[in-house]
Amino acid sequence: MKYSRFLAYTLICLITISCSVKRPVTNSVLASDGKLWAALWQQRAAEYKALCFQAYNIARLRLDQDLQTDMPARRAIITDIDETILDNSPNAVHQALQGREFEPDSWYKWTAKADCDTLAGALSFFRYAASKGVTVFYITNRDEQEREATLKNLRRFGFPDADNEHLLLKQTVSDKEDRRLEVLKSHRIVLLLGDNLSDFSKLFNKLPEDERMKITRQQSGNFGSKFIVLPNSTYGDWENAIFQYNYKINPAQKEEIIKKSLRDE
Closest approach of Cβ 199 to Mg ion, in Å?
6
Angle between helices 89-96 and 29-44 (to 10 degrees): 140
Of 20-28, 91-99, 161-169, 188-196, the segment contacting Mg ion by CB under 5 A is 188-196
- Residue with Cβ nearer Mg ion (135 or 196): 196
The CB-of-73 to Mg ion minimum distance in angstroms stands at 28
State in angstroms the smallest separation of the CB of 87 from Mg ion. 11
101 touches Mg ion by CB under 5 A = no
Distance (Å, whole) CA 108 – CA 148: 12
Closer to Mg ion at the Cβ: 80 or 161? 80
Closest approach of Cβ 195 to Mg ion, in Å?
A: 4
- Quote the CA–CA distance of 81 and 163 in Å, as a whole number: 14
Distance, CA of 115 to CA of 118 (rounded, Å): 9
Task: Give Cα 246 distance to the centre of its chain.
Answer: 18
Of the ranges 31-39, 40-48, 146-154, 192-200, which one interacts with Mg ion (CB under 5 A)? 192-200
- The least CB distance from residue 204 to Mg ion, in Å, is 13
Nearer to Mg ion, 65 or 171 (CB): 171
Binding part of the chain for Mg ion, among 101-109, 122-130, 190-198, 206-214 by CB under 5 A, reads 190-198
Sole binder of Mg ion in the list 159, 195, 197, 243 (CB under 5 A): 195
To Mg ion, the closest distance from the beta carbon of 196 in angstroms equals 5
| CB closer to Mg ion, 28 vs 88 | 88
Name the residue among 66, 90, 88 with its Cα closest to residue 77: 66
Which one, 157 or 188, has the nearer CB to Mg ion? 157
> By CB under 5 A, what part of segment 69-98 binds Mg ion?
80, 82-83
Q: Which is nearer to Mg ion, 6 or 245 (CB)?
A: 245
Give the contacts of 235 (CB within 8 A, at least 6 positions apart).
35, 83, 92, 102
Return the number of the residue (200 or 243) whose C-beta is nearest Mg ion. 200
| C-alpha to C-alpha distance for 73 and 203, rounded to whole angstroms | 27
Q: Give the binding-site size for Mg ion (rule: CB under 5 A).
A: 4
| Contact footprint for Mg ion (CB under 5 A) | 80, 82-83, 195
